Structure 1
Amino acid sequence: MGGNGEVQIALTVLEEDGKWVGTDSDGIAIGVVRLGNWQVQPVDATGEARGGDDAYLVRINYELDLEPGFPAVEWLEVGFDFTGADPVAVVDAVPFSTTGSRPATSYTLGRLLNLLPSAGESSADVHLPATTGVIDVFGIGGRKVRWRHRAEGDGAVRPGAHVIWAVLLVPAGTESLQVEFSARYDLRTGESFLPGQLPQPFPLDLRDPSAVETALEPSATVDGGEKKAGAPRVFISYAHDTRPHKLAARQLGALLARCGVDLHMDYLAPAARNDWYKWAIQQIRKADYIVILASPMCRAIGDGESTDGRHKGMHCESAMIRDVLHGDRAYWFPRLLPTVLPGESVQNIPLYLQPYTGDHYIVDEFTEEGIGDLLRAMGVTPPVGLSTASDATG
């Protein structure tokens, strides 16, 4: 989703008797409440849970931005009305209603698309920062949801960033939604004021990121073909942990291909029936560089902790990568590039790749600048204008 630039809306304050990440939301503001970029992830779920609809996990970012000397906010309410398709339902969302401060909490998406507290971060689907004050939630199960933040005692609503995670059900095939953002708040001024504005609409793009990426060049989409002259041949090895992780891997692949890399990964393989064991051997042997994407399952398989028989392709690739590294470490060590995608952790790099004593590559965003260090590790010159500073081991 593309940003729509900085849009400022003048604050209107009415006396009471005169009686609100994808990225199209970036910059939309009402008074001192401002929306940031949104993150949209398709969710694999059972037919029982979806009822024939499509499911999405959405991260909503907003902030209360107060100028110095601005009166304290006694309560703040933000609301979201999802329209443009019928029906739309917010199945579940966090934060839940709370009566006081709550520590940072991780949640797992349950079988019926409900958000359940998680025992550990590695198995969690969402992470919610700590919250303060009282939070009331309204509208779960419908298309209109609201969060009201209330100060405790004589305090004030905390300024700064806030995060919401919501599970949406939309009719199958829906590509975008219209969202109306509303905000209301009251200032601790000694008199009753109701600052507010009319709801502000913006589009929310739900399309598969890989479907809206610029198409890969034909020479980069045929595995086993001749590599492009002068381009490093790169194989991306990744576990199919979740659908969002698979889509993120494709986004990285499309971006690398646009930057001149001869890309090879599983979803680009010919449509004919494949011998995937033979295919993986060929990719590893022919690769100039192998990008290994950090994820909980990648780490578990690489460290020999996964014994449930799932993810056989990753088991095969990981075993062969470890074997070639052991056979010729001097050759392979600089060619194995552990990479951490947005939302992932260095902790999910397998131990044999030395996550803390060897270089790794952090991709903060899917832009040419975001993959600059990774490109340089492959001997590819990043597009003109990128910084040459590296923080690969940070």
Structure 2
Amino acid sequence: MSVRVFLSYAHDDDPHRAAVRELWYFLRRNGIDARCDMDTAQRREWTRWMEHELARVDFVLVIASPAYRSRAEHGARNGSGNGVEYEAALIREMLYADRERWFPRILPVLLPGRAATEVPAFLLPTSSTVYRVDSFTVPGAEQLLRHLTGQQEEPAPALGPVPRLGPRTAPAATAPVGAGPPVQVYAAAPLEVLIGALARLPITQSPMTRAHFTGMIVERLGEPLDIDPSAAPVDYLRALLTALAARPGGMLAVAEVVQQLHSDRPDDVEILGELVYRDEPFGR
């Protein structure tokens, strides 16, 4: 059974009426039972004819034009446009009475050369779909034809099975406010590798900076360290790491200080492997 469509339009001028006539012919040539007031084979009582047609259609096409919007929103002037004013009132009534049914079936249509600003405001031309007819051909009216005939351009793909996902690893505990940047946990590394990595950092390059480095660690650790910062860098670092590895939280303290001072040098910090979870002292 063919789709029945009513064309609601205003007689702006002869070119506009001719364009509506082309749309009417085009739809009927393509299997759409389009109805409009140009079929005047018999005398009609127009208000009753409008009511009769709108009560039996599947879709209403509101053909946008300046006169249609003006008469739909402000009424007819000087006795001209009474039919559009009446049709628009009936269409609004259909939307108000059953919006769920009629909103997808009352379609604002733009013929060539028309703009969305000519669509009546009650059809929401800015926030809803407007159907453009670029030419009276199947490609030029494809959007409208697809909607009228229920032929989707991009059907939704079939649903596949839901993937089974294992649990994620719990996140590390959040550091207290003011405790500095979070500490990253690295893979294990031998003592000599850690010493070599620390020896490349600026903070370990002079007795003065090594003393400062030791002080920052002591502050976090909460207990003194008997480490000589004037010793050779490698000897200083070996003594420091050995002492810290023997204390609970010692390696965590050095990790925090290193990451705070050298977060902009990830390649140097990455190799500082076992900085958090080593409990036994390093061997020599």
Say whether 1:261 aligns with 2:25. no
Pick from 358, 369, 378: which aligns with 2:128?
358
User: How far apart are the structure 2 equivalents of 1:264 and 1:237?
Assistant: 9
Distance 1:283 1:380 in 2: 21
Asked if 1:334 corresponds to 2:104, the answer is yes
Equivalent positions of 1:340-379 (< 5 A) are: 340-379=110-149
Distance 2:77 2:13 in 1: 18
The percent of aligned pairs where both chains have the same amino acid is 37
> In the aligned structure 1, how far is the partner of 2:127 from the partner of 2:7?
22
Structure 1 stretches lacking a partner, 5+ long: 1-229, 383-387, 390-394
Give RMSD over aligned pairs.
1.6
Letter in 1 for 2:51: I
**Whole-angstrom CA distance in 2 between matches of 1:353 and 1:236:** 15
Could you tell me how far apart the structure 1 residues matched to 2:11 and 2:114 are? 14
Pick from 301, 307, 312 the counterpart of residue 71 of structure 2: 301
Deviation, structure 1 residue 273:
1.3
Amino acid at match of 1:294: A
Counterpart CA distance in 1 for 2:128 and 2:144 is 14
Compute the displacement of 1:344 (Å).
1.0
Paired letter, 2:7: I
Quick one: which of 62, 65, 72 aligns to 1:292?
62
Q: Would you tell me which structure has more strand in proportion to its own residues?
A: 1
Q: Distance in 2 between matches of 1:300 and 1:308?
A: 13
Q: TM-score, normalised by structure 1?
A: 0.38
Q: Distance in 1 between matches of 2:79 and 2:102?
A: 28
Alignment-derived partner of residue 82 in structure 2:
312
CA contact (8 A) 2:75 2:85 kept: no
Q: Does 1:322 align with 2:100?
A: no
- Hey, which of these two has a bigger chunk of helix by percent? 2
**1:280 alignment partner, one of 9, 34, 50:** 50
Distance in 1 separating the partners of 2:89 and 2:74? 10
Distance 1:257 1:328, change over 3 A: same
Q: Deviations over 1:318-356 (max 9, x none)?
A: 111111111111111011010000011110000000001
The higher radius of gyration belongs to 2
CA shift, 1:248, in A, is 0.2
* Alignment check: 8 A CA contact 1:236 1:292 kept: yes
| 2:112 counterpart SS class | coil
Aligned partners of 2:75 and 2:82 also within 8 Å: no
- Once residues 64 and 73 of structure 2 are traced to their aligned partners in structure 1, the CA distance between those partners, rounded to angstroms, is 12
Tell me how far 1:380 sits from its aligned partner. 4.8
Cα separation, 2, equivalents of 1:332 and 1:237: 15
Distance 2:32 2:135 in 1: 18
Letter in 1 for 2:17: K
2:11 equivalent among 240, 244, 247: 240
Mapped partners of 1:243, 1:352: distance in 2: 26
Cα distance change on mapping 1:305 and 1:281 into 2, 3 Å:
closer
Alpha-carbon distance in structure 1 between the residues aligned to 2:29 and 2:132:
19
User: How do residues 142-221 of structure 1 correspond to structure 2 at under 5 angstroms?
Assistant: none
| Structure 2 Cα separation of the partners of residues 375 and 367 of structure 1 | 10
Contact 1:302 1:352 in 2 (8 A): no
1:241 Cα deviation from its structure 2 partner: 0.4
- The DSSP-based 3-state class of the residue aligned with 2:38 is helix
The answer on whether the counterparts of 1:291 and 1:337 sit within 8 Å (CA) in structure 2 is: yes
Asked if the contact 1:302–1:351 (Cα under 8 Å) also holds between the matched residues in 2, the reply is: no
Q: Is the 8 A contact 1:240 1:246 kept in 2?
A: yes
* CA 1:381–1:260: 2 relative to 1, 3 Å: farther
Distance of 1:313 and 1:305 partners within structure 2: 10
Q: Deviations over 1:192-220 (max 9, x none)?
A: xxxxxxxxxxxxxxxxxxxxxxxxxxxxx
In the TM superposition, what whole-angstrom CA distance separates every residue of 1:11-48 from its partner, at most 9, and x where no partner exists?
Answer: xxxxxxxxxxxxxxxxxxxxxxxxxxxxxxxxxxxxxx
Equivalenced residues, count = 154
Distance 2:103 2:151 in 1: 21
Provide the rounded CA distance (Å) in 2 between the counterparts of 1:256 and 1:236: 11
Matches of residues 32-43 of structure 1 in structure 2 within 5 Å? none
Q: Aligned partner of 2:94: which letter?
A: V
Q: Helix, strand or coil: the match of 1:235?
A: strand
Unaligned runs of 5+ in 2: 155-284
1:279-306, CA deviations, whole angstroms, 9 ceiling, x for partnerless residues? 0001111010000100001111122254
* d(CA) in 1 for partners of 2:90, 2:58: 15
